[in-house]
């Protein structure tokens, strides 16, 4: 995991974000999601340039076609606006941050 993925995982694990249970490195079809909230079919990806744009488009296309919502955040978002990232994730999972 990258530094930003570790930072986010520490905030998501053990139901720390509004009681929501997230899985790390969750397999979905041929892909591995960075983080997944299965009940709401939410995938959270942290992007730092490891993948190419065409790979990310194909991956997102597959996930959305199979019913998942994909949230992507840049490493910079995690570093600079962490609370906003958490709020957006909680909101997308159906439990507003607070």
Amino acid 84: pLDDT = 97
Amino acid 52: pLDDT = 60
Share of the chain above pLDDT 90, in %: 82
- Asked if residue 97 belongs to a domain, the reply is no
Domain assignment of residue 21, given as a range? 3-92
CATH for 57: 3.40.960.10
- Asked if residue 20 belongs to a domain, the reply is yes
Contact status, residue 53 vs residue 47, Cβ threshold 8 Å: no
Contact status, residue 48 vs residue 56, Cβ threshold 8 Å: no
Amino acid 19: pLDDT = 96
What is the distance between the alpha carbons of residues 55 and 36, in angstroms, rounded to a whole number? 19
Tell me which H or E stretch contains 75.
helix 75-80
Share of the chain above pLDDT 70, in %: 95
Mean predicted confidence (pLDDT) in 5-24: 97
Give me the number of domains the chain comprises: 1
pTM: 0.91
Amino acid 51: pLDDT = 54
Tell me which H or E stretch contains 10.
helix 3-12
What is the distance between the alpha carbons of residues 40 and 49, in angstroms, rounded to a whole number? 27
């Amino acid at each position: 995991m990258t530094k930003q993925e570790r930072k986010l995982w520490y905030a998501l694990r053990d139901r720390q974000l509004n009681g929501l249970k997230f899985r790390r490195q969750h397999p979905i079809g041929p892909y591995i999601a960075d983080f997944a909230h299965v009940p709401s079919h939410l995938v959270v990806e942290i992007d730092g340039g490891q993948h190419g744009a065409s790979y990310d488009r194909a991956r997102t296309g597959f996930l959305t076609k199979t019913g998942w919502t994909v949230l992507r955040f840049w490493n910079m978002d995690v570093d600079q606006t962490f609370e906003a990232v958490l709020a957006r994730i909680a909101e997308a999972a159906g439990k507003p941050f607070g």
